[in-house]
Amino acid sequence: MKIAVIGTGYVGLVSGACFANWGHQVACVDKNAQKIAALQNGIVPIYEPGLDELVERNFGAGRLSFTCDLLEAVKGAAMVLIAVGTPPRAAHGDADLSFVFSAARELAPLIDDDTVVVVKSTVPVGTGDIVQKIIGSVREAGTFSVASNPEFLREGVAISDFLEPDRVVVGVEDDRARARLTELYGVPLKARKTPIIVTQRRTSELIKYAANAFLATKITFINELADLCEQVGSDVSQLAVGIGLDKRIGTSFLNAGPGYGGSCFPKDTMALLRTAQDYGVPLRIVEETVTANEARKRRMALKVTDALDGDVEGLTIAVLGLTFKPDTDDMREAPAVPLIETLQRFGAHIRAYDPVGTENARRVLSDVDLHTDAYECARDADAVVVVTEWDDIRNLDLMRLRRIMRQGVLVDLRNAFDPARAEQAGFRVSAIGRRPAANRYEAHTATGHSQVPGHAVFARKAENVQPQSAGGSIDHR
């Protein structure tokens, strides 16, 4: 089957390469001539484990091609996938669909009769209806189909997620689209017995947003329980196992940390809220999830301040890991950014290290010393803060790390290290969801307030990072 993919971003490139790997003839088209030229020369513009090899193999085999010519890409294609970006609009947080609609307008006069146009971009409910009208304004009704096929790719493991999915969701309104998409996925995934959920187009569009909002809520839930664990002397890691082994809950997305980020959860939760607001339906749980997550990211700076006796002014802090998760160079909504910005406002000097995210970090951070070596980043630092749990950060020699630091403070926002081993190396450890060492905190007073060294400074600076309450609105960002 010949397939055209409009857009060579994360979704388009991964999808195109994987479809080609299944034996289809795939043409990826993009208006960015520089990006297309790079891809034609084997240079992949994003970091995703295994993607370089997949593109190289299928490009070399002639199954995968790259072009700026839309007519060349869609001519003779049985299926055209729209995989362009839908970034949040700054004013309201709803999805910007201009790229989707522009692609629909441009491809409408170029496609062959019987073509199935598939919206693979993450879009609000009803987007497919508008795409249908756009194409239908220049083509006879019944000569084409518009379907929805959301992606569920996790950055860092996108190839396996595509080739070995836990389910495939397609939204169709006619038999042509149903048959074409069932053929596309059914043959390669038959042996795996992968469920293919065929539903209405609007339901398919909503499934993607609902899934991401639920996972974001799950992350926020365990993060708030981690705060409670610290206060009552419990361990959130053990708690997560205890509830995660319940089959109704599951163990995934129960790793406490500094808050979720990335290209999907922040954008999709906001877009879902905007859609619900447009229809007059309150989604209170999702609203609170968004508010709590934004507050948590900046509150992590207070955790670092607390670990340094309530004041970081003039101190050097080494931040290890900048991307929102390991195995990606994506800095979008990364918790490291508000953490660093808040610590800078507190007067700290920031050094930072990330295995692959440095170049993207330069675009969003200022006045930060970026290093290519974790040990050099930590040299003479007063504290090390682990923000992203890359394997090469997990595998650092803690004894060596402690020797080169000025103060032995380790703030582990990902619980990447065994606290006992870190303490043996000479560190004073502050982790997520684990009660701090007794010698750094006194018992709660009768009023319920912890007695923290430097508490007056800590409290005063806390006032500077309290997020504005959503107050039932989603415009607080």
Alpha-carbon gap, residue 304 to 121, rounded angstroms: 38
Q: Are 181 and 151 in contact (CB under 8 A)?
A: no
**Percent over 90 (pLDDT), the chain:** 88
Structure tokens at 144: 């084409």
Q: Are 346 and 301 in contact (CB under 8 A)?
A: yes
- Residue 275 in this model has a pLDDT that exceeds 80: yes
| Per-residue pLDDT at 437 | 54
Which segment of 65-79, 260-274, 447-461 scores lowest on mean pLDDT? 447-461
- Residue 469 in this model has a pLDDT that exceeds 60: no
Structure tokens at 124: 């609000």
- Which residues lie closer than 8 Å to 453 by C-beta, 6 or more apart? 309, 310, 440
Starting at the edge strand found earlier in the chain, the sheet holding 316-320 runs 369-371, 349-353, 316-320, 383-386, 409-412, 428-431
Mean pLDDT of 391-399: 97
Burial of 17 (0-12, 13-18, 19+ CB in 10 A): buried
Placement of tokens 């043996």 in the chain: 424
Mean pLDDT of 227-249: 96
> How many CA atoms are closer than 13 Å to the CA of 415, on its beta-carbon side?
16
Alpha-carbon gap, residue 371 to 457, rounded angstroms: 30
Tens digit of each residue's pLDDT (9 = 90 or more) over 7-58: 999 999 999 999 999 999 999 999 999 999 999 999 999 999 999 999 999 9
Mean pLDDT of 346-375: 97
- Which residues lie closer than 8 Å to 164 by C-beta, 6 or more apart? 192, 194
Tens digit of each residue's pLDDT (9 = 90 or more) over 317-339: 999 999 999 999 999 999 999 99
Tens digit of each residue's pLDDT (9 = 90 or more) over 71-115: 999 999 999 999 999 998 876 778 999 999 999 999 999 999 999
* 3-class secondary-structure state, position 2: strand
Q: Are 263 and 155 in contact (CB under 8 A)?
A: yes
Structure tokens at 387: 């923000």
264 has catalytic annotation: yes
Instruction: Report DSSP letters for 21-35, one per residue.
Output: HTT-EEEEE-S-HHH
Rounded mean pLDDT of the chain? 91
- Residue 152 in this model has a pLDDT that exceeds 80: yes
Q: Are 162 and 133 in contact (CB under 8 A)?
A: no
Largest Cα–Cα distance in the chain? 76
Alpha-carbon gap, residue 413 to 425, rounded angstroms: 18
- Residue 439 in this model has a pLDDT that exceeds 80: no
Q: Are 219 and 183 in contact (CB under 8 A)?
A: no
Structure tokens at 400: 């060596």
- Which residues lie closer than 8 Å to 26 by C-beta, 6 or more apart? 2, 3, 4, 5, 16, 17, 19, 20, 58, 63, 64, 65
Q: Which of 18, 229, 264, 377 is catalytic?
A: 264
Which helix H or strand E contains 388, and what residues bound it? none
Burial of 176 (0-12, 13-18, 19+ CB in 10 A): middle
| Per-residue pLDDT at 477 | 28
Alpha-carbon gap, residue 59 to 31, rounded angstroms: 19
Alpha-carbon gap, residue 153 to 14, rounded angstroms: 9
Domains of the chain, start order? 2-199 (3.40.50.720), 218-477 (3.40.50.720)
